[in-house]
């Protein structure tokens, strides 16, 4: 018996997929192609024409100190938020594998933050970190000027990392919980009978067996930090103080829509695109190498 679905004509499946293909083309492929094309032109704002300049736009951004400052901010932001999001989610998932009450309720509560947009998180956190009225305002009463994220770039970056990690914890938690629940119960029971405590079982059994989920979560978080940090940065710090939190995604917006440098912004978009492609290829390589061991 043929299990494949039967369609009246061979074009009917293509017809069903056409709306989604159009959306992908209009909102993903076409902007990407347009950015690549503009990166080789000097595009004047307000539709005043363009001129082919070859690789000049790339040479210009690669010799600009602001690009390397933005790249450093992106790497710090990506590494910090990924490490924090993976650690917190792993701790929560591992704790819920212990004999605790209200597991289902707690799992639901830990997943809810995934429905909150990054912009909303940024607006709420902007109120919470206010040095005068926020949660840490008492520090300034004890030591005046010690908490000033609007003036100190490191503090602004810490707030940004914490906020973005908060948005990534739910997805990581789902991945880790699913991976931990696939571990055979008799294996964990045998280790407990042999005298292994919760921490030893976690280090020797659970952690190695969920390595693919750890790698997947890490790669997803890194790509998310590269591509979806803009909304949070715009709502929380606007790239400041100075340019200390101007990650690449925000730098592209700032150059293109504020500085009206459409050519430089497009070239920076292509550079960011190449970073993401390299990360994706690295992910595939790790998965292929680890497939035989996991």
Report the percentage of the chain scoring pLDDT > 70.
Answer: 96
In this structure, how many other beta carbons lie within 10 angstroms of the beta carbon of residue 5? 6
The yes-or-no verdict on residue 266 having pLDDT over 80 is: yes
pLDDT at 127: 85
User: Average per-residue pLDDT in the chain?
Assistant: 85
What radius of gyration do the chain's Cα atoms show? 24
CB 285 within 8 A of CB 197: no
pLDDT at 149: 87
The yes-or-no verdict on residue 22 having pLDDT over 90 is: yes
CATH superfamily of 76-246: MetI-like (1.10.3720.10)
Report the percentage of the chain scoring pLDDT > 90.
Answer: 20
- Which of 7-11, 26-30, 138-142, 195-199 reaches the highest mean pLDDT? 26-30
Average pLDDT of 20-39? Answer: 89
pLDDT at 158: 92
pLDDT at 290: 63
Average pLDDT of 259-285? Answer: 85
CB 39 within 8 A of CB 57: yes
17-to-6, 22, 29, 110, 245 alpha-carbon distances in Å = 16, 9, 16, 34, 40
pLDDT digits (tens, 9 = 90+) for 92-149: 998 888 877 777 788 888 888 777 777 788 888 888 888 888 888 888 888 888 888 8
pLDDT at 77: 94
Nearest-angstrom CA–CA distance, 230 and 228: 6
User: Which residues, other chains included, contact 282 with Cβ-Cβ below 8 Å and sequence gap of 6+?
Assistant: 219
pLDDT digits (tens, 9 = 90+) for 65-98: 888 999 999 999 999 999 999 999 999 998 888 8
Helix 103-111 with 65-96: angle, nearest 10 deg = 170
Return the closest-CA partner of residue 65 out of 217, 288, 243, 226.
Answer: 243
The yes-or-no verdict on residue 157 having pLDDT over 90 is: yes
pLDDT at 1: 56
Query: Which pLDDT band, with edges at 50, 70 and 90, does 228 fall under?
Result: confident
């Amino acid at each position: 018996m043929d299990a494949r679905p039967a369609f009246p004509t061979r074009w009917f499946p293509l017809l069903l997929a056409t709306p989604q293909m159009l959306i992908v083309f209009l909102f993903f492929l076409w902007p990407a192609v347009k950015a690549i094309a503009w990166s080789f032109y000097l595009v004047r704002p307000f539709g005043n024409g363009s001129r082919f300049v070859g690789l000049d736009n790339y040479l210009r951004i690669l010799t600009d100190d602001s690009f390397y400052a933005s790249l450093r901010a992106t790497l710090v932001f990506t590494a910090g938020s990924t490490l924090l999001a993976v650690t917190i989610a792993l701790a929560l998932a591992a704790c819920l594998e212990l004999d605790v009450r209200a597991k289902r309720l707690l799992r639901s509560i830990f997943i809810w933050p995934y429905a909150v947009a990054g912009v909303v998180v940024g607006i709420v956190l902007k109120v919470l970190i206010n040095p005068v009225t926020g949660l840490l305002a008492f520090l300034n009463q004890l030591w005046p000027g010690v908490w000033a994220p609007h003036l100190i770039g490191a503090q602004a970056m810490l707030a940004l990392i914490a906020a973005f990690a908060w948005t990534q914890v739910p997805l990581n938690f789902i991945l880790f919980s699913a991976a931990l629940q696939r571990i055979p119960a008799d294996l964990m029971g045998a280790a407990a009978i042999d005298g292994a405590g919760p921490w030893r079982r976690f280090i020797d059994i659970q952690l190695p067996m969920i390595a693919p989920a750890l790698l997947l979560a890490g790669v997803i978080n890194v790509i998310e930090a590269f591509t979806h940090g803009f909304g949070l940065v715009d709502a929380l710090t606007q790239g400041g103080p100075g340019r200390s939190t101007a990650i690449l995604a925000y730098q592209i917006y700032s150059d293109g829509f504020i500085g009206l440098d459409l050519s430089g912004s497009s070239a920076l978009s292509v550079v960011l695109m190449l970073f993401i492609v390299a990360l994706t290829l690295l992910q595939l390589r790790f998965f292929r190498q680890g497939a035989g061991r996991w």
